[in-house]
Amino acid sequence: MKKEIESELHDYVESRYAHLRRTAFLLCGEWHRAEDLVQTALAKVVVAARRGRVESLDAYSRQVLLRVYLDDNQRGSRRRERTWADPAGAAEPPVVAGDRATALTVLAALRTLPARQRATVVLRYWEDRSVEDTAAVLGVSEGTVKSQSAKGLAGMRQMLAGSLAELMFSDGGVV
Amino acid sequence: MPLDELRTTLNQAAELDEPPVGGGPAAVFARADRTRSRQRIATAVSGIVVLGVVIGVAATAVDRSGGAPTAAPAPVVSAGPPSAPTLTSAAPSPRTRPSDVPADAMLNTLLRLLPAGVTVSEPDSQPGFAEVILSDRAGRGKVQVNVQPGFNRVIPSGHGGDDPMDTFTCARRRDPAGTHCTRSVLPDGTIVVLTEGPSEDAGHDRIQRRMADVYRPDGVRVVLGTWNAVHEKTNTATRAEPPLTVQQLQAIATDPTWPV
């Protein structure tokens, strides 16, 4: 039984590590910190799973990762803010052509959002989670998820207005 | 932006300059093992505290009921569960393999190498780590050491350009802003990096940290740190400066008797 759990855990970590690290990267914007966040979160998951306290590894991992990110962000926000562009300074994302430039620009815009809005946007629009799932992972109401999504996307749209106007203001509308 | 385009763009962003996974999954299990080890120590310490309280209450009850005078209960460890090791997070080398250096040997060596004239309390250790609280007239402060044998065989971090040996070059270290760093190489080839500045863990200015980060020619890394606080992750300074100077840290960290 113990061997089965260990085997399942190893398979899970091996297979989901990269994906969770990408989620963490979108959340924090730094690969080094993303690596740390995902290792911290998965270590907690492993400890809990070995005690038989985890029903769904995937759901629990996502929940722990978000919690670790939000806690870490709250604890060290003052120090880390120095490593990121100041929201005011980031108001002019690079205007360059190509997919890479677009990705960089969206990433820069994402970083300007407050932590919870960023988490909501990442869960809803990258992880493709429903409002209900997102609310459960973040431990907030569905109404809060909807308002955070709207504010987050509006914030991104505002940030990107100068460089990606053709994307952000197409008829499809993000909000 | 239509939602599909937003998703596509986020996908591209999520893979932007993505470093290889490397030893990440292995590091997860190493961390989990360390967490479990700390939890066991915390449980043991809690048990001792509870036992001490029970003995103390029982002794008091016997005393009040007219029984023979009883000796005061043995001093009880008054600290809460041991805090998480902080030195590996303070220095950018989180992907070292778990240390096999026995906890007892770590603590005994640290106690032996500390300068005379200080009072030691709240000793704690686990494989590769040891920490104590030092007290003198200036107040209380924490000292923690981490020994990493085989640092020369460290698992690659997987970050582009993020060499584990960067920690031994002041310009490449990721110390908190305001940290003063000096590097020297001893005649036997040992690299010594000494730092002094705000504590990374606290994220506040009040907690100061001094560190000696030593890399020996045999591939062993010794990281010794001291804080002007008992719990460096809070902003409560318990003295004006950390209890040991960087010179004292260097002398202890470069001692050849650290167990490996």
Of A49, A84, A119, the residue at which a domain comes to its end is A84
Q: What is the pLDDT of residue A170?
A: 40
- Cα B260 to Cα B251: distance, rounded to the nearest angstrom: 18
H-type helices in B3-99, by residue range?
3-14, 24-64, 87-90
| Chain Cα centroid distance, residue B112 | 18
Q: What is the pLDDT of residue B113?
A: 93
Could you tell me if A15 and A78 lie in one domain? Answer: yes
- CB–CB contact B29 A10 (8 Å): yes
Residue B161 sits at the chain A interface (C-beta within 8 Å): no
Residues A106/A108/A109/A110 CA torsion (nearest 10 deg) = 80
Q: What is the pLDDT of residue B87?
A: 58
Q: What is the DSSP string of chain A?
A: -HHHHHHHHHHHHHHHHHHHHHHHHHHHS-HHHHHHHHHHHHHHHHHHHHTT--S-HHHHHHHHHHHHHHHHHHHHHHHHHTTS--TTGGGS-----SHHHHHHHHHHHHHTS-HHHHHHHIIIIIS---HHHHHHHHTS-HHHHHHHHHHHHHHHHHHHTTT-HHHHTSTT---
Confidence band of B46 (pLDDT split at 50, 70, 90): low
**What distance in Å separates residue A1's CA from the closest CA in chain B?**
18
Q: Spell out the domain ranges in chain B.
A: 1-82, 87-253
Instruction: Return the CATH number at A93.
Output: 1.10.10.10
Could you tell me if A80 and A147 lie in one domain? Answer: no
Could you tell me if A77 and A109 lie in one domain? Answer: no
Q: How many domains does chain A have?
A: 2
pLDDT in tens, A1-16: 677 888 899 999 999 9
Residue matched to tokens 């045999």: B218
The answer to whether ipTM exceeds 0.85 is no
The amino acid that residue A85 corresponds to is A
Q: Is residue A120, in this structure, part of any structural domain at all? A: yes
Q: What is the pLDDT of residue A85?
A: 35
Residue B240, SS3 per DSSP: coil
Q: Give the mean pLDDT of chain B.
A: 76
Q: Is the pLDDT of residue A96 over 80?
A: no
Could you tell me if A91 and A106 lie in one domain? Answer: yes
Q: What is the pLDDT of residue A75?
A: 66
Q: What is the pLDDT of residue B241?
A: 92
Summarize the confidence of residues A18-31 as an average pLDDT. 92
Residue in A150, A174, A40, A18 with CA at minimum distance from that of residue B14: A18
Could you tell me if A90 and A68 lie in one domain? Answer: no
Q: Give the mean pLDDT of chain A.
A: 78
pLDDT in tens, B184-193: 999 889 999 9
Could you tell me if A122 and A147 lie in one domain? Answer: yes
Confidence band of B161 (pLDDT split at 50, 70, 90): very low
- CB–CB contact B3 A172 (8 Å): yes
Q: Is the pLDDT of residue A95 over 50?
A: no
Closest Cβ–Cβ partner in A31, A103, A122 for B12: A103
Higher per-residue confidence, B151 vs A13: A13
Q: pTM here?
A: 0.48
- CB–CB contact A46 B29 (8 Å): yes
**What distance in Å separates residue A100's CA from the closest CA in chain B?**
7
Residues of B whose CB is below 8 A from A2: none
Do residues B109 and B259 lie in contact, with contact meaning Cβ atoms separated by under 8 Å? yes
Contacts of A95 (CB under 8 A, 6+ apart): A101, A105, A162, A163
- Nearest-CA residue of chain B relative to A169? B1
Residue B3 sits at the chain A interface (C-beta within 8 Å): yes
Confidence band of A89 (pLDDT split at 50, 70, 90): very low
Higher per-residue confidence, B12 vs B181: B181
- Cα A37 to Cα A167: distance, rounded to the nearest angstrom: 31
- CB–CB contact B17 A31 (8 Å): yes
Confidence band of A169 (pLDDT split at 50, 70, 90): very low
Q: What is the pLDDT of residue B205?
A: 62
Quick one: what percent of chain B has pLDDT higher than 70? 70
Q: Is residue A5, in this structure, part of any structural domain at all? A: yes
Could you tell me if A27 and A77 lie in one domain? Answer: yes
Closest Cβ–Cβ partner in B3, B18, B28 for A43: B28
Could you tell me if A75 and A64 lie in one domain? Answer: yes
Q: Is residue A132, in this structure, part of any structural domain at all? A: yes
pLDDT in tens, B110-129: 999 998 878 888 888 888 88
Task: Flag the least confident range among A4-18, B86-100, B146-160.
Answer: B86-100
Could you tell me if A117 and A133 lie in one domain? Answer: yes
Quick one: what percent of chain A has pLDDT higher than 70? 78
Higher per-residue confidence, B126 vs B182: B182
The amino acid that residue B76 corresponds to is V
- CB–CB contact B28 A42 (8 Å): yes
- Cα B43 to Cα B32: distance, rounded to the nearest angstrom: 16
Q: Are strands B139-148 and B129-136 parallel, antiparallel or unpaired?
A: antiparallel
- Nearest-CA residue of chain A relative to B39? A47
Q: Is the pLDDT of residue B25 over 80?
A: yes
Summarize the confidence of residues A136-152 as an average pLDDT. 90
Of A40, A57, A84, the residue at which a domain comes to its end is A84
CATH classification code of B87-253: 3.40.1000
The whole domain housing A35 covers 1-84
Q: Which two tokens stand for residue A25?
A: 């990267």
Residues of A whose CB is below 8 A from B200: 79
Confidence band of B226 (pLDDT split at 50, 70, 90): very high
Summarize the confidence of residues A19-26 as an average pLDDT. 94
Task: Flag the least confident range among A18-22, A137-141, B49-53.
Answer: B49-53
pLDDT in tens, B191-214: 999 999 888 654 556 788 999 999
- CB–CB contact B28 A17 (8 Å): yes
Q: What is the pLDDT of residue B125?
A: 82
Q: Is residue A174, in this structure, part of any structural domain at all? A: no
Residue in A64, A113, A72, A29 with CA at minimum distance from that of residue B200: A72
Mutate to test the interface with A, among B28, B89, B157 (most CBs of A within 10 A): B28
Could you tell me if A26 and A91 lie in one domain? Answer: no
Q: Is residue A172, in this structure, part of any structural domain at all? A: no
Residues of A whose CB is below 8 A from B21: 17-18, 21
Do residues A108 and A134 lie in contact, with contact meaning Cβ atoms separated by under 8 Å? no
Could you tell me if A96 and A134 lie in one domain? Answer: yes
- Nearest-CA residue of chain A relative to B205? A79
Task: Flag the least confident range among A64-68, A79-83, B20-24.
Answer: A79-83
Could you tell me if A73 and A104 lie in one domain? Answer: no
Other beta carbons within 10 angstroms of residue B231's beta carbon come to: 17
Residue B80, SS3 per DSSP: coil
Confidence band of B254 (pLDDT split at 50, 70, 90): very high
Q: What is the pLDDT of residue A157?
A: 83
